[in-house]
Structure 1
Amino acid sequence: MTTPLNSLDIAKPPAATRVVAAMSGGVDSSVVAALLKREGYDVIGVTLQLYDHGAAVHRAGACCAGQDIHDARRVAEAIGIPHYVLDYESRFRDAVIERFAESYLAGETPIPCVECNRTVKFRDLLGLARELGADALATGHYVVSRDLGTGHRGLFRAADAARDQSYFLYATTQEQLDLLRFPLGSIDKAQTRALAAELGLGIADKPDSQDICFVPNGRYADVIEKLKPGASRPGEIVHLDGRVLGRHDGVLRYTVGQRKGLGLSAAEPLYVLRLDADLARVIVGPREALGVREIRLRDVNWLGDLSLDALPVEGLDVAVRVRSTRAPREARLMRDEDGLKIELASDEEGVSPGQACVIYTDAGPDARVLGGGTILRPPLAMLTPAPAFAHAQP
């Protein structure tokens, strides 16, 4: 007789199904571990220490350190599961923090959460899950994975659009996705907090993490200066028309689309249009010059059924997100002699190199993630109007 699938889509009774629960110490991951334990799964809790917890014990809005590790351990004890804390600090520094600093110094605006998921959390933690003989690795992300009927699983937007974290998980590989499970993808945060209270976890009202975990109070420039002393060069703030409007203390202190904090006196509102790290130059201009219709990508991760080499000549109708806070927008995925290209159906503002462009099947609430990549800096000539100093580029 065929064994029916359990709630994790695995053909085993829950008691015979080993699950590693990634426990950050927050409400979401704690609820996941407790729910799975209540359903009778063989649950092992694992918490990663990602940076010096001594500096973060009393800092609200962080994760993976100090108080959070204590909270994860306390929840594991309360629900009666084994719990391990792994020191991944050196891995996290090499794979995430160092790359974060290098990207900012190159004039990009990176997303360390994507890199953390891609490397430490999923690659390394999944390796550990396999060593422990686990059938699945469960996390508290708000995203949905489903069996596609092909022997693989697909990644879909969460039921709660306000909490959907699919943007941050586009770099998950197919091998990783097949082992991952996301039990919270079909509910909202209010329901999760209610479950935490019902399960008696003692953290139902714990605030969500807000900042990048290793950046106190959002002051990322201070962290980069500490990691790379003297690496940030002062330079000029230049208008598109070639006028030098002022000076800056380093391109790492700016991001494309920024308006406030430029320290300029001008008759019109000015926005950061481009960061030129090679020439230590911040290029500014009017808001209409922020509009982008074409995006090029690097480090593409593809989860679609159709091979990228098999894209039709006319391209593929998709939807894309260029910021985590924006809804997917209609676009066309193309391939030419220079590689992959996204053609947007309408102008998108604030498209910043280093950020992610995530590709979906459509703009609907239940859209599947097809993949994504890191946004490349466009050529100067693509700015509208073209800058007066474009010929000065090396």
Structure 2
Amino acid sequence: MKRVAIALSGGIDSSVATALLLEQGYNVFGLTMSAKLPRDYKNISSDDIFSQSIESAKKIVNILGIEHYIINIGKEFADIVIKYFLNEYNHGRTPNPCIVCNPEIKWGILLRYAKKFGANYFATGHYARIEKPQCTGIDKYKLLKARSHYQDQSYMLWRLNQEQLAKTIFPVGELTKDKVRHIAKKYHFPTHEQVDSQEICFAQDYSSFIKQAMPDIKKGPIFYHTGEKLGEHQGIQFYTIGQRKGINIPFSKPLYVYKIDCNSNAIYVTDKEDLLYHNALICDDINLIIGDSFFEMDDINIKVRYRTLPITGKICMLSGNRIEVEFITSIRAISPGQSAVFYKDDELIGGGIIIKSFDK
């Protein structure tokens, strides 16, 4: 009997994924993260930031009767995920912590523990699918969108590699959310009516989190896009490209964040929304799941945010592990720090971190 470790948060998706694996005959055990942060982060929390997840996971484990291990990753989570999160905001970028957490924490630290405890495979509750190679040693594992495109979470997984995909199972990738809720209700999971979270796992309110983590944030000037000073901002960390709320400057028209300059600690705003649209970008930190054959394909679709539709574009490889993307149409508020993720139909080809947008 194959042994599978499930990353068990206690939420509805990972809970149902666990139940499905058991139904399929696997020997399943749960891994739940614990993270009491080091003293350097005492302003954030002195408690375990995953305490609610641990309690929820324990309830699921009791219902299903499986082994359960709580893995303390406090130092690693702080050094890898939270440090990245804060550093990106300090440099005027908009981070996506899942992009770092997935390959380095879940498919890094947790996967190593899974192997230590004898797992043949590692599973999560992500809505995505994997297609195995048809010919061993020749073809590669393919990462696919979930069957339900609305629930699809493949965007968050573009940094996974072939070795990680070979060990991975996504039990809910073929299901709709309604079907997942139906299964959760059948098992009497307390999460069967749980509302999907829109927040990052370690901070329910990112502004409050940043204030706690960085109490010495500096205020700075807000300029109109042509250079006139309009007012003062509360810290560049609280702004992202295209943002309208929180500018708090009386003006005849709505103002939007147009540019963030971390070197001068300045925010530039505009009332001309067309200035927020660009048809090209450059990204770095590239990961190509299927290798360079990606560049031989036509009609590549690119997503620049998690909850947006992909836009067709043309791809050009640059030096220094960078890619230039030219879209067939302009896109609003492309944000440095977010991910550009490349698809061919349902297959995720790879991705990179956006460093700038412009017009061609």
Deviation at 1:190, TM superposition (A): 0.8
Instruction: Please tell me whether the aligned partners of residues 96 and 338 of structure 2 are also in contact (alpha carbons under 8 angstroms).
Output: yes
Aligned to 2:286: 300
Deviation at 1:316, TM superposition (A): 4.8
- Counterpart of 1:162 (choices 127, 146, 150) is 150
Per-residue Cα deviation, 1:316-348 (whole angstroms, up to 9, x for no partner):
531000111101110111124564111111000
- Counterpart of 2:10 (choices 25, 32, 36) is 25
Q: Could you list the runs of 5+ residues in structure 2 that have no partner in the other structure?
A: 38-47
> What pairs up with 1:1-394 in 2 under 5 angstroms?
16-51=1-36, 65-151=50-136, 152-216=140-204, 218=205, 220-230=206-216, 232-285=217-270, 286-307=272-293, 311=295, 316-337=298-319, 339-362=322-345, 367-378=346-357, 382=358
* C-alpha separation in 1, matches of 2:356 and 2:317: 18
* C-alpha separation in 1, matches of 2:57 and 2:106: 16
Instruction: Please tell me whether the aligned partners of residues 51 and 92 of structure 1 are also in contact (alpha carbons under 8 angstroms).
Output: no
Q: Which amino acid letter does the alignment assign opposite residue 189 of structure 1? A: K
Deviation at 1:202, TM superposition (A): 3.6
Instruction: Please tell me whether the aligned partners of residues 48 and 64 of structure 1 are also in contact (alpha carbons under 8 angstroms).
Output: no
* C-alpha separation in 2, matches of 1:210 and 1:329: 23
* C-alpha separation in 2, matches of 1:137 and 1:81: 15
Per-residue Cα deviation, 1:294-314 (whole angstroms, up to 9, x for no partner):
111121111124357xx46xx
SS of the equivalent of 2:253 reads: coil
Q: Which amino acid letter does the alignment assign opposite residue 266 of structure 2? A: R
Instruction: Please tell me whether the aligned partners of residues 316 and 334 of structure 1 are also in contact (alpha carbons under 8 angstroms).
Output: no
* C-alpha separation in 2, matches of 1:155 and 1:89: 29
* C-alpha separation in 2, matches of 1:50 and 1:117: 15
Distance 1:71 1:337, change over 3 A: closer
Dislocated runs of 4+, deviation >4 Å: none
Distance 1:163 1:270, change over 3 A: same
The number of aligned residues is 345
SS of the equivalent of 1:118 reads: helix
Distance 1:64 1:369, change over 3 A: farther
Q: Which amino acid letter does the alignment assign opposite residue 210 of structure 1? A: Q
Deviation at 1:209, TM superposition (A): 2.8
Q: Which amino acid letter does the alignment assign opposite residue 187 of structure 1? A: L
* C-alpha separation in 2, matches of 1:32 and 1:240: 49
* C-alpha separation in 2, matches of 1:50 and 1:191: 32
Q: Which amino acid letter does the alignment assign opposite residue 285 of structure 2? A: D
Structure with greater strand percent: 2
Instruction: Please tell me whether the aligned partners of residues 28 and 141 of structure 1 are also in contact (alpha carbons under 8 angstroms).
Output: yes
* C-alpha separation in 1, matches of 2:162 and 2:49: 26
* C-alpha separation in 2, matches of 1:112 and 1:70: 23
Instruction: Please tell me whether the aligned partners of residues 26 and 208 of structure 1 are also in contact (alpha carbons under 8 angstroms).
Output: no
* C-alpha separation in 2, matches of 1:324 and 1:150: 32
Instruction: Please tell me whether the aligned partners of residues 5 and 119 of structure 2 are also in contact (alpha carbons under 8 angstroms).
Output: yes
Instruction: Please tell me whether the aligned partners of residues 280 and 359 of structure 2 are also in contact (alpha carbons under 8 angstroms).
Output: no
SS of the equivalent of 2:184 reads: helix
SS of the equivalent of 1:211 reads: coil
Distance 1:321 1:267, change over 3 A: same
Instruction: Please tell me whether the aligned partners of residues 25 and 64 of structure 1 are also in contact (alpha carbons under 8 angstroms).
Output: no
Tell which deviates more after alignment, 233-242 or 134-143: 233-242
Per-residue Cα deviation, 1:94-119 (whole angstroms, up to 9, x for no partner):
11011101100100010112211121
Instruction: Please tell me whether the aligned partners of residues 24 and 64 of structure 1 are also in contact (alpha carbons under 8 angstroms).
Output: no
Instruction: Please tell me whether the aligned partners of residues 45 and 84 of structure 1 are also in contact (alpha carbons under 8 angstroms).
Output: yes
- RMSD between aligned alpha carbons? 2.0
Instruction: Please tell me whether the aligned partners of residues 316 and 333 of structure 1 are also in contact (alpha carbons under 8 angstroms).
Output: no
SS of the equivalent of 2:102 reads: helix
**TM-score calculated relative to the size of structure 1:** 0.83
Deviation at 1:21, TM superposition (A): 1.0
SS of the equivalent of 2:356 reads: coil
Per-residue Cα deviation, 1:335-375 (whole angstroms, up to 9, x for no partner):
2456411111100001001111111114xxxx100110111
Distance 1:51 1:117, change over 3 A: farther
Instruction: Please tell me whether the aligned partners of residues 258 and 268 of structure 2 are also in contact (alpha carbons under 8 angstroms).
Output: yes
Q: Which amino acid letter does the alignment assign opposite residue 333 of structure 1? A: I
**TM-score calculated relative to the size of structure 2:** 0.90
Aligned to 1:55: none
SS of the equivalent of 1:348 reads: strand
Distance 1:280 1:34, change over 3 A: same
Q: Percent identity of the aligned residues?
A: 33
